[in-house]
A = this chain, B = another copy of it.
Amino acid sequence: MTSYINKINDYIKSLDYETQNALQNISLNKHYKKGDLLLRQNEICSKSYLLINGIARKYYLNDGKEITTELYFENDLAISFDSYTLQQPSKEFIEALTDVTVSVISYQTFQEAKKNFPKLLTLDLMLTEYYGMWVENRLFQFHTMTATQRYLDILTKSPHIIQSVPLTIIASYLGISLETLSRIRAKI
């Protein structure tokens, strides 16, 4: 599936000058401080955020508890998918876990750009396909793997997560309690 990221990047590089330029022109770099919220619950996700550097996460509240649904690193695209797609209020927050720099494109502007530069429509489809496969894979893990297996999977495939994100957040990302995560780590 990493190969699909490469395919997307290749596609972007292969775009004609005009389309590349259009993308460039509707993008705007922004900085956020650690702890800042890029998106709040109940707001409509009207922008997409491409992480230039730093770390961020997406989470929602489940009777008072924060459940982390996605972690973002360099080159990851951060949106609340259903809020962005349906332009309806978001259930999720997006929060900067460190100081971050992002490249922002507004939903509306991107929709317009797709009309004038049809290749952006294909890009949109590719990004959506990628996200679909990513979520499907995560669902698969919850469907069939134990907490220990899910932790080991992160440890091997995404060790940077373990190194740079507090255990409380990793635990909620894995769908287990902080204590259970601590015990899993002790056992290994």
Contacts and interface: CB of A to CB of B under 8 A. Distances in A.
A81 B133 CA distance: 7
A136 B69 CA distance: 10
A136 B175 contact: no
Nearest to A125: B125
Contacts of A136: 81-82, 135
Contact of A143 (B67, B129, B133): B67
Interface stretch (A17-25, A116-124, A154-162): A116-124
Contacts of A184: none
Contacts of A133: 81-82, 85-86
Given A67-B143, A131-B132, A138-B139, 13 more contacts: A1-B82, A62-B144, A67-B144, A81-B132, A82-B133, A82-B136, A86-B133, A118-B118, A124-B125, A125-B128, A132-B132, A135-B139, A143-B175
